[in-house]
Structure 1
């Protein structure tokens, strides 16, 4: 009974010790990476900046703090109605690189994908035609229509598989298909 108690005390003390260790760049609300503020957790817990539609809050601000931006941040703490539209846009662009509309805007990448796909398809058709012309032998004579008809006539004459096969559908008395 003494051992589990001692183990649980050791576990609890190590967990308390881990809680006191700050994560890199996440110890306080005003930590910085370079000149950029860490403002959140991020999509993977790392202090990095990524524009994502599914996780719209990056861990750090997009731009470094300059004296102009710092003055706007101080002004931002007051009444927002006193900020002009240009100042609001400058504050937004200091925190984020793109708006949602810019992230969702079509890039035209589909054109290059379709173009490359068509190039590869045309190359494969040219390779096939080259193989057919220069590598493959011509089809044997047994593939002609006359040879196929002669083979069918011979199967009927020999009564090949007369119960439920091909020649079972041939009327031998009238000489035509049933």
Structure 2
């Protein structure tokens, strides 16, 4: 896709707009050169890996940049490495490696998540300690055993329930 975009940029390096649109656009982008359509047709700049060719150049045209642009029209072997880098930085803010590098934002996300979990656990503990009363007596072990025995004695749900697993002749659980 990048190769196709580069070829499209080479075929149509300049965008022509009407005079009214051009004056409005110049108020927004200043002295920067419009070099393509962009990812949405607007004269804006964004470092994007899915659309690597922004509509405008990163830096405004200064005398230094204009001199380098004239020099780049000639033989590129005559340009020094610093001049090539300056030309690149005039067109793009960051390299792919720079804007795709990890930012470390995950650390703050994990930290905030752990802090929220901590607050929730302290809230739960505080509610359990100071707000909720003691459990009712029906949660005690002997009461629950008596309730299970009553369910079995009354043969509640004898087809598929607890009573179906009780052997009434041997008075024990079925094996």
* TM bracket, shorter-chain basis: 0.7 to 0.9
Gaps of 5+ in 1: 1-19, 27-31
TM-score (norm 1): 0.79
Partner of 1:37, secondary structure, is coil
Q: May I ask how many residue pairs the two structures share in their alignment?
A: 154
The residue number in structure 2 matching 1:14 is none
Question: In structure 2, how many angstroms separate the alpha carbons of the residues matched to 1:147 and 1:63?
Answer: 80
Structure 2 residue 95 is matched with structure 1 residue 88 = no
1:176 aligns with 2:152: no
RMSD of aligned C-alpha atoms?
2.2
Q: 1:131-170 maps to which residues of 2 (within 5 A)?
A: 131-170=127-166
Stretch moving more, 133-142 or 54-63: 133-142
Given that residues 63 and 95 in structure 1 are in contact (C-alpha distance below 8 angstroms), is that contact kept between their aligned partners in structure 2? yes
Give the CA deviation at 1:82: 0.7
Change in 2 beyond 3 A, CA 1:21/1:76:
closer
How far has the Cα of 1:52 moved from its partner? 1.0
1:78 aligns with 2:74: yes
Following TM superposition, by how much is the alpha carbon of 1:164 offset from its aligned partner in structure 2, in angstroms?
Answer: 4.1
Q: Which runs of 5+ in 2 are unaligned?
A: 1-15
For normalisation by structure 2, the TM-score amounts to 0.80
Distance change in 2, residues 1:131/1:72 (3 Å): same
The 2-side partners of 1:21 and 1:61 are apart by 17
Structure 1 residue 173: Cα displacement: 2.5
1:116-144 CA deviation, whole Å, 9 max, x = no partner? Answer: 11111111111111111122222111112
Task: Choose 1 or 2 for highest CA Rg.
Answer: 1
Partners of 1:73 and 1:91 within 8 A in 2: yes
Q: C-alpha separation between the residues in 1 aligned to 2:110 and 2:170?
A: 60
The SS at the match of 1:130 is helix
Pick aligned residue for 1:38 from 34, 38, 45: 34
| Residue of structure 1 in register with 2:8 after alignment | none
